[in-house]
Amino acid sequence: MEHLAELWPRDGRPRLIHLMPWDLTVGGAQRMLDLWCSHQAYRWDTHIITVGARGPFEFTGATIHSELRTAQIRGLIETLQPDLLVHHEPTEKNGISSRCPQVWVLHCTNSLRAESPKHVAPAAVFTNFDSHEIHSSWRELPLKVLPLQIDTDEFRPGKRKHAGLVCGIVGRLHEDKIPRSFIDALLAWQAGPWRLRFIGHGLDTGYQRFASEQLAHVPWIDFSGDVPPAQMASTLRRLDALMIPTDAAHGETGSYAALEAMATGLPVIARDLHGLRYNCGDAPLYANEDTELL
């Protein structure tokens, strides 16, 4: 890799690396990064490094390095010699020690509930919600809370582009977002005037096949694939409501889908989670049980 840095000239710009522990398909962290790139990537020589695969996001102006092993990631960071390393969701297991300054971005409530990593002293730590659940060790770091922001020029009330009543569930089709108990509740639910639409797929883990096979014969449920961020506003305008049945054990620090839906004029029905209340206030209809959501 000793000559690879020559492939990406800085052109007088500072070099920034975003280090992601997940694939670049559908998710709030990926959405945050895509939004950042669309507004700020031109100011930096931006690189995104991940162990995972590439999905439907643009990441405008950034160079993508995907499907890398840990040793390759460490070598690439050493070769690129960034001026700043932004490590998304660092842990003791995936922690990277580097000579450049680090900023940490936390996206998961489980990480914030656990003790903070000790492999490096970050210059700053950001999360998008505050709660008594956050482990005291994070308070000893330069922790800053920045609530989620969305583009209200793009997401605004408008005319619906469909007929009938459709409730959407936006995000990865994984067990933390769509619990098995929620699937069981759907199978036991009596059909009514509403259709339920799952929007998003994510990196295939097998759970997608399980969920779609379980619900394949329910006539009022359908599945859509991953939707690029540029198409999300028009996707929401085909809905009449949004539901967030996320497993409470995993939680949500926030939800772009919820904020964008509310800005579009849609009611939101959500699991009663600290992160959602912090970012959305009392606007959604909150519930605890699966049947209560339905």
pTM: 0.86
Tell me which of 243 and 29 has the higher pLDDT: 243
Complete edge-to-edge strand list for the sheet that includes strand 143-145? 62-65, 45-50, 15-20, 84-88, 102-105, 124-127, 143-145
Q: Which residue shows structure tokens 């539901």? A: 243
**189 phi and psi, to 5 degrees?**
-80, 145
Go through 83-110 and write b for each residue having 16 or more CB atoms within 10 A of its CB, e for each that does not.
ebbbbbbbeeebebebeeebbbbbbbbe
Tell me which of 99 and 238 has the higher pLDDT: 238
The fraction of the chain above a pLDDT of 90, given in percent, is 66
At position 242, the amino acid (one-letter code) is L
Helix (H) or strand (E) holding 249: none
Q: Could you tell me which residues are beta bridge partners of residue 217? A: none
* 92: pLDDT strictly greater than 90: no
- The band of 278, judged by pLDDT with boundaries at 50, 70 and 90, is very high
Q: Could you tell me which residues are beta bridge partners of residue 121? A: none
pLDDT value for 7: 61
Token reading at 192: 């009514």
In three-state secondary structure terms, 276 is helix
Task: Give the span between the Cα atoms of 184 and 264, in whole angstroms.
Answer: 30
* 251: pLDDT strictly greater than 60: yes
Instruction: Read off the pLDDT of residues 181-198 as tens digits, 9 standing for 90 and up.
Output: 999 999 999 988 999 999
pLDDT value for 116: 94
- The band of 98, judged by pLDDT with boundaries at 50, 70 and 90, is confident
What is the CB neighbour count within 10 angstroms for residue 120? 16
Nearest CA among 126, 137, 226, 132 for reference residue 173: 226
Give mean pLDDT, residues 269-291: 94
Give mean pLDDT, residues 191-212: 91
Residue 240: DSSP 8-state: S
Helices (H), the chain: 28-40, 70-80, 109-113, 136-139, 180-188, 207-215, 232-236, 256-264, 274-280, 290-293
Instruction: Read off the pLDDT of residues 45-74 as tens digits, 9 standing for 90 and up.
Output: 999 999 888 888 889 999 999 999 988 999
pLDDT value for 286: 97
* 212: pLDDT strictly greater than 90: yes
pLDDT value for 1: 42
Q: Could you tell me which residues are beta bridge partners of residue 24? A: 54
Give mean pLDDT, residues 102-107: 94
Task: Give the span between the Cα atoms of 28 and 25, in whole angstroms.
Answer: 10
> Which of 70-79, 89-98, 257-266 is predicted most confidently?
257-266
Q: DSSP of 128-186, one letter per residue?
A: S---TTS-HHHHTS-EEE------TTTS------SSSEEEEEES--STTTS-HHHHHHH
* 2: pLDDT strictly greater than 50: no
Instruction: Read off the pLDDT of residues 215-240 as tens digits, 9 standing for 90 and up.
Output: 999 999 999 888 888 899 999 999 99
The fraction of the chain above a pLDDT of 70, given in percent, is 96
Token reading at 245: 């049945």
pLDDT value for 50: 92
Instruction: Read off the pLDDT of residues 124-154 as tens digits, 9 standing for 90 and up.
Output: 999 999 988 899 999 999 999 998 888 899 9
pLDDT value for 96: 85
Please name the residues in contact with 38: beta carbons below 8 A apart, sequence gap of 6 or more: 58, 60
In three-state secondary structure terms, 244 is strand
What is the CB neighbour count within 10 angstroms for residue 21? 18
